[in-house]
Amino acid sequence: MVSGYNDHCPGRVELTFPPGAAGAGRRVCPVYVGTCGYSYTEWVDSGFYPQGTKSAEMLNLYGRFFSVVELNYTWYQMARAEALARMVEKAPAHLLFAAKLTRTMTHERVENWPEQLQLFRQGIAPLKKRLVAVLIQLPPNFDRSIANRSYLAALLDGLHGVPVAVEFRHNSWAIDSVFFELERRGVTLVAVDEPSLPGLFPSLDVVTNPALFYVRFHGRNNEGWRSGNMQKKFNYDYSDQELLAWCDRYLYSMAARAERGILVFNNHVRAQAPKNGRKLATIMAGRGREGS
């Protein structure tokens, strides 16, 4: 495997794999690196954004370093086409977007969720081809019960035709039958890095959709994870050794079986997410050259 940066797309690393046993030619898997959200005032205090940076200026500055961004705000409030159209117009041309499904359909599960789902689809329409995935982030108490399986199937049916990725937090979903069903539907299973605590979904290198693999790095703050405090939960700084180990154990294996991938960091406290994202991109590029 060899790799390298794409100079026209910051935060994108191209991993090139040798011909396969069947004689297939060399193949390239572009990997896009970013963070979960980008508009954090604490990133100004932490030095990622220059002093005095206003919220409206952050996306352009963010795009100087990264190739994809996961939109957090669409989880807190319904996506609106007018707002996203303005965002796309102002965003760097290379930047891709992942949009979280609104919490009314994942955590609150309101009775009129079918109408909410249609509003969401209308709201994200301006992203067009720059939408890499709709992220269905499910809560820790969403276990693999019959009712929950039926509800998730209905959500996926309602998002047919849109690229979808599912993140499970409950370990009951970590079974082959779930992976097979996601594969049948062409839905991406989100790989996670998070604390090793009982009941949580494990880190896996399973690829259910060859069009896209998706990894979310939450940090490994065991003490803060269930504290109820977001600053404690996501306060974690990955070491170079931890990122190297993740590449060797999971990431390269997934990239070898997918057309492209996205890696996003959720440890936003003190701008650790952009720091770790930039470091991982550097590691991927350097490790690929070492193995060439």
Residue 142 has pLDDT above 60, yes or no: yes
> Is 24 or 212 the better-scoring residue by pLDDT?
212
* Cα 262 from Cα 69, distance rounded (Å): 9
In the prediction, which pLDDT does 8 show? Answer: 62
Residue 142 · residue 114 · CB < 8 Å: no
Share of the chain above pLDDT 90, in %: 84
Helices (H), 54-213: 58-62, 73-76, 81-90, 113-124, 146-158, 176-185
* Residue the block writes with tokens 């370990």: 171
* Cα 177 from Cα 179, distance rounded (Å): 5
In the prediction, which pLDDT does 290 show? Answer: 38
* Cβ neighbours around 248 below 10 Å, total: 11
pLDDT digits (tens, 9 = 90+) for 219-262: 999 887 788 778 888 999 999 999 999 999 999 999 999 999 99
Residue 163 has pLDDT above 60, yes or no: yes
